[in-house]
Amino acid sequence: MKLHGKRTKQALAFYLERQKLRQEIEQTRHSIDSARNHFEQVVDPTLIDCYIYELNAAQLRYQFLLRCFKSLEPEST
């Protein structure tokens, strides 16, 4: 019985970690969209640079989170 309980806890932890990553991915997608929208609307050169950096940072974070999420997927061989 303990083994089953341990597996259940591991499955729950795995599920919660995937859900957390999904939420972070969605938030990062929102950040990318927001930075892109701001970038398209500003005319001040300083703000243009700011949103370029913000967009690049959000895209890098998005790629990182996707790699993390993919690493959680069970291998199918």
Q: Is the pLDDT of residue 31 over 80?
A: yes
**Region 29-50 average pLDDT:** 96
Q: How confident is the model at residue 4 (pLDDT cuts 50, 70, 90)?
A: low
Predicted TM-score of the model (pTM): 0.79
Q: What is the DSSP letter of 75?
A: P
DSSP letter (8 states) at residue 77:
-
Task: Report, as an integer, the average pLDDT of 47-57.
Answer: 97
Neighbours of 13 (CB within 10 A): 10
69 with 29: CB under 8 angstroms?
no
